[in-house]
Structure 1
Amino acid sequence: MRTIAEINDKISRQLAVVWTTEELKARVAEVGVTQAAKEVDVITTGTFEPMESSGAIINLGHTDPPMKIRRCWLDGVPAYAGFGAVDLYLGATGMVEYASTGEAPDGEESRERGGGHIIEDLIAGKPVQLRAIGQVTDCYPRASFETTITRDTINQFYLFNPRNIYQNFIVGVNGGDRPLFTYLGPLQPRLANAVYSNAGAISPLLNDPDLQLIGIGTRIFLGGGIGYVSWEGTQHFPLQKRLPNRTPIGPAATLALMGDAKQMNPRWVRGCYFKNYGPSVMLGVGVPLPVLHEQVVASCAVQDKDIVAPVVDFSIPRRVRPTFGLVSYAQLKTGRISIEGKPVRVAPLASVFLSRQVALELKQWIEAGEFTLTEPVAQIPMDRSFLPQDRWGSQISLE
């Protein structure tokens, strides 16, 4: 048995033994769980994948005369301004509104630019054009404002992400007769391809399946800086069916994360675009797991062959879609699976290479004594049900 305080003491003296989760799995294969648990203090996990339920809180500082912003665009992308006078929330999937800015589209690349790209540019120190319209009041008399901002000319700039690092996800396929453009990217008709999004056995939450180590207040690697787990994520569904090894058979737990974007690195926060679907952001997240007891190592020893995901047919336009059964991540990572006897080529959205790099960089931070562990102030609830909107509502015309 160890405590986090004891592990932090070793980290501060640069004596802690830190392994990435892949190094841990290899060591367990050599010497077994019990011996590996005696040797290691911290296991680092990582993922780099699309996380569209992400965004940034930005405080601009007050103008002179003061202004109460109620509509705002950053490089043409709308930012939500329905709270403090100069507080904004820029969502990663926000899309350019040329009609609102009076600007004309400047080629296909311009139309593909969204909130994730603006966040990446601000982190990189690049200038961003701001246009704001205010609500005129006695204390906020200014009606409009235009300027250029950078990371260094704004006050608070931090990511607040309502849903990140899914604990497992789905494999998307298309059994229909036309191409589909989805949040997993293009799915070709007649089961011509399959796409999955999770990094598998190196992904953070699959190495702590019951969230015994990760809780509210856990310090993490977020976008190349230090972040924290702030709450359960939206669509958190820990009651998902699970295998005997406790890994879920589909989307399950999620986390809400936050961290200072001024400390982040654009290598680990990248705007992206899915054709005919919209913009998003690729985000690097790493979670350290303290080896408090042997069971931690037993859970982290899980292999890709021991984790499965459902193959879901997107050609059926319903919330609950038919599946073609379960497939292991070991099969997915071969680049080809079999569906009803037909070979189907497979591609990942998550970068396994960059996920490994996240875990390695976090390991190096800990070994250098630059990153210590935190005790969670509360556990993530593990009894949440998933409540869909099954009631039929009235149709709203957009014409």
Structure 2
Amino acid sequence: MQEKSLSEINERIRNGSARVVTAEEMPDLVDELGTAGAVREVDVVTTGTFGAMCSSGVFLNLGHSDPPIKIARAYLNRVEAYGGIAAVDLFLGATQPSEDRGIEYGGAHVMEDLVIGKQIEVEAHGSPSDCYPQMDLETSLRLEDFNQATMVNPRNAYQRYNAATNSSDRTMHTYMGTLLPGLGNVHYSGAGVLSPLSNDPGFEYIGVGTRIFLAGAQGYVIGSGTQHNPENGFSTLMVTGDLKRMNNSFLRAATFHKYGPSLYLGIGIPIPMLNERLAKSTAVRDSDITVPVQDYGIQRRDKPSVRMVSYEELKSGLIDLGGKEVSCSPLSSFQMAREVARTLKEQVERGEFLLSQAAEPLLRVGSCRPMK
């Protein structure tokens, strides 16, 4: 079996001789060269996804005020941030809505405002003690004014995601967008052929400590994501990165109509061609990746599946549901997923992005049980 080492591939990246292709280009190369030939000819395959990743947030350290304060409650542009960590550490969640603007503005919008250089208004209320006497403070801060702004996202980069439709007689407003009554439309998410975990479903390379592209910065996988369910092809990642290094092109706030705020993120992972197993997994096509179309008109946790459908069918724009031709629309951006994979490819080719050995593998058995 044809194999290469990670150190050999990193050396080629350093000296500029590495051959890098995107995950969209890889299937045709494997068809042409075979898996052994692909391992010989290709060093790195870059992946990418860009979509709503609600389970995201950022740890912020404000620095100590004078007199000092132990923050019990804090608001950033009137969006509440959790203060029960330490005196001036906060955690801001992407989906937290504003106190005064409701669901039209939330934590994700604060993050985007910070990344694009805007000043945000901070209001803090203290829990007084002898060492933290201050009760209240107000100030204005930019991203550069925080000591640290560390993004830590519990669940990102779903391997694949259920599509959604609505059989009820009323319009529904969901995290899968606005679903029209009577199976009037289908919404789906995910990058299909470009999705990082679809290109390494067995975690041959991706693991704890893997260096990733996170919203324009270099970040890391820190573990399996919440609701990680690899047995059913719904693996997720827990990731981290420095908000101060992120790029607004790959970090965008959004509001789902009558549902609430979310954060759109660009995530990419370069996959080294270490062996033929990875060559085979990175040869995946949209036609190989299937998801159930779930009926959100049935309002229970275990929504029934109308049918299984491939990303190739979804991307065609029309699918058949019970003899009815139904239009399909993506909630994620395939164009931006391509841009993530292309940007990552250029960084690897320039020697700016080296690949890292995982400290330990991701969990092969996950847990996605209903609430007890």
Same fold (TM over 0.5): yes
Pick from 61, 68, 71 the counterpart of residue 70 of structure 2: 68
Asked whether 1:167 is paired with 2:159, we answer: yes
The residue that corresponds to 1:395 in the other structure is none
Partner of 2:108: helix, strand, or coil? helix
Partner of 2:46: helix, strand, or coil? strand
Partner of 2:147: helix, strand, or coil? coil
Q: Distance in 2 between matches of 1:32 and 1:339?
A: 37
1:307 deviates by 1.0
Task: Tell me how large the CA RMSD over aligned residues is.
Answer: 1.0
Q: Distance in 1 between matches of 2:127 and 2:230?
A: 43
1:97 deviates by 1.0
The residue that corresponds to 1:266 in the other structure is 248
Instruction: Return the letter of the residue paired with 2:270.
Output: P
Instruction: Return the letter of the residue paired with 1:305.
Output: S
The residue that corresponds to 1:186 in the other structure is 178
Which residues of structure 2 form unaligned runs of 5+?
none
Pick from 245, 261, 264 the counterpart of residue 279 of structure 1: 261
Show structure 1 runs of 4+ deviating over 4 A: none
Pick from 324, 329, 348 the counterpart of residue 347 of structure 1: 329
In the alignment, is the contact (CA less than 8 A) between 2:149 and 2:243 conserved in 1?
Answer: yes
The residue that corresponds to 1:2 in the other structure is 4
Q: Distance in 1 between matches of 2:33 and 2:313?
A: 26
The residue that corresponds to 1:39 in the other structure is 41
Could you give the per-residue CA deviations for residues 31-60 of structure 1, whole angstroms, max 9, x where no partner exists? 333222210011000000000000011000
Instruction: Return the letter of the residue paired with 1:75.
Output: N
Pick from 349, 365, 368 the counterpart of residue 383 of structure 1: 365
Instruction: Return the letter of the residue paired with 1:289.
Output: I
Instruction: Return the letter of the residue paired with 1:21.
Output: A
Report 1:117-156 matches (<5 A): 117-156=109-148
1:239 deviates by 1.8
Q: Distance in 2 between matches of 1:17 and 1:31?
A: 15
The residue that corresponds to 1:87 in the other structure is 89
In the alignment, is the contact (CA less than 8 A) between 1:225 and 1:265 conserved in 2?
Answer: yes
Partner of 2:92: helix, strand, or coil? strand
In the alignment, is the contact (CA less than 8 A) between 2:219 and 2:239 conserved in 1?
Answer: yes
Q: Distance in 1 between matches of 2:64 and 2:50?
A: 36
Instruction: Return the letter of the residue paired with 2:165.
Output: V
1:271 deviates by 0.4
Identity of matched residues, % = 46
Could you give the per-residue CA deviations for residues 329-355 of structure 1, whole angstroms, max 9, x where no partner exists? 110000000000100000001100100
The residue that corresponds to 2:169 in the other structure is 177
Instruction: Return the letter of the residue paired with 2:121.
Output: Q
Partner of 1:305: helix, strand, or coil? helix
In the alignment, is the contact (CA less than 8 A) between 1:239 and 1:385 conserved in 2?
Answer: no
Report 1:300-315 matches (<5 A): 300-315=282-297
1:22 deviates by 1.2
Q: Distance in 1 between matches of 2:204 and 2:37?
A: 21
Residues 127/14 of structure 1: CA separation in 2 closer, same or farther (3 Å cut) = same
Asked whether 1:321 is paired with 2:303, we answer: yes
Q: Distance in 1 between matches of 2:367 and 2:208?
A: 19
Partner of 2:91: helix, strand, or coil? strand
